[in-house]
Structure 1
Amino acid sequence: MRAGRPADCLESAHMVTPSIADIFRARLLQKPYLSPTPLASYPLLDRSTGMSVLVKHENLQPTGAFKVRGGITLLGGMDPRERARGVVGYSTGNHAQSLAYAAARFGAPCTIVMPQDSNPVKTAAVRRLGADLVEFGATFDEARVHAEELAVARGMRLVSAGDEPDLIAGVATAYLEIFEQEPELDVVVVPVGGGSGAAAACLVASVVRPECRVVAVQSRRSPAAHDSWHAGRCLRRPNETGAEGLATGSGFELPQSLMRKYLADFVLVDDEEIRAAQWALIRDARTVAEAAGAAPLAALPALRESVGGGRVAVVVSGGNVSEAELRACVRASVSEGGAVA
């Protein structure tokens, strides 16, 4: 952290805003490893939401989440000597899988710190990919501090979960695909934990489709990114959501700076609304989404008036659902009706 910056701003030592050229370079780095994901419409989903909805299926990535785009870009673009030292990451799961997947592809040592009692689907995947998994602390923020210590002790490159230009450039390729698949899109709704996805969406939309509004969504039980954006500075907030992909307790300066410049709106949803949206995606789009991946759909009722008759894309950022989460979602659908609207 740079001297003189507020303690609530989580920041890496390499704060450079990525450009559209960086995003195209990221696409070239990804090409041997990743394929475009579908942007699909579902009549039943349109009917249940009362909107024209397109679903971006990042749940179909090799790791089950959009973060893999960033991992491939970062590891693929590293100096070989730095890559040989290895990387240390901290995550609630999808960022962890991204780094582990990319490290395996490029032959780099990889250590991942995840909170204890993390999603078992994600921890098992990290281990299968060959990373050294360290489970530490009860929250994302406690895992982050331990990762910082391990990176120093092991002489490895710490990879921030938010303040990494290469990660933002990497995940931005998803939004290039979205606008290629639907050039006349009016709104994109993006889930936010650290904010790399929303920042990436903002960067791409500002260049290729400035008329498109980018809207971010986070859980009301972990509102650090939301509150940081509204306040215009990084803040710390309680981190209590069950949606691990949205569970951060502090804002990250790089994505926040991009969101402050370009983001149209930032809304909060309840965990119960997210659970209903998970069921709606299963019922109406035959899509299994983890909680963070369903959050954009959960935000649509709050956006209905501003969206009007426009075309809206919701980014299903991941599909790494634990058995317990899936069972809870189905039980809730029976007792609550599973409605999004």
Structure 2
Amino acid sequence: MAVAAPSRTDHLGKPSFPEAAAALKTMLEDELAATNEVILDHLGSQVSLIPEVATHLIQAGGKRLRPLMALAAAEISGAGGQNARYLAAAVELIHAATLLHDDVVDDSALRRGFKTANVVFGNKESVLVGDFLFARAFELMVKTGQLPVLDRLSRASCTISEGEVLQLETQGNIGATEAMHLDVIRAKTATLFEAAAQAGSSACGPSPHAEALASYGANFGIAYQLVDDALDYGLGGQVRGKSVGDDFRERKMTMPVILAYRAARSDEERGFWEAAFGGGEASFEEARRLIDRDRIGEAALHHAEGFAEEAVRAAESLPEHPLKEVLVSLAVSSAARPF
């Protein structure tokens, strides 16, 4: 494991989210490289379109936060090695499979600045290759010989699918509550971070640190997604390398909309949100204006901060390790990414 201290350059003397994520990647670069080899080895198929579609998505980039979390949990728990790499690869393949399916469900055209696989290859092809990646992920889990880990990641895969259906049920429902949206986030995003950390910790058998790491992963995942939802509305016009407006156009009920609808000052403003999420024509710029005016981005971040604090508390209970400080920095900065 390559060890490098994270840089500290923001106004509070602590690393920003990109810096903390980069530090985690640097510290685990050898293990991540080995994990990437495992992933590439399991994309093979006699049907040439399968690796072509899968590689199109996986090589588009991404932070690799989920496999990194599995690898970090394994290192902290003394469970590093081939099993940890298998599980980290399985987590990334599960994530890739869900992205392929989500892009079809959401009719997305771009991901990370590239055309989505469903646009390039077709919806049917994307769904079926997503199924293939799920199967490969389970193959990797079985290789570890750890039945509890297989059980945990299997249940996470089910929960992610439930979360996607739950999001469809709330889509366009202007009466959706904060609790309903948090249920979607827990299922769609947090559960895989939680399972990745717990599985990594238990890669070689039961670990006394598995529950603390699972709590860290779950709370980090919620904070991370809450900020991502806010970024989709520009968070007061401050956007860093992220396209905006997709959630609005897809009528997804996320925290900024839930809070903005509650903050509406007139029937006209409430009518705007009701029309926008009821399927009518509505201006994204007007949505951003209302969100900026009522400082909704800051309110959304306040929600994220609470979960980030819970993640920090979980991490602080872990044994001393060079990766522990980076996990704390990652959690703290996850709720401050836009600023």
Q: Same fold (TM over 0.5)?
A: no
Q: Report 1 or 2 for greater relative contact order, CA contacts < 8 Å, sequence distance ≥ 6.
A: 1
Higher relative strand content: 1
Higher relative helix content: 2
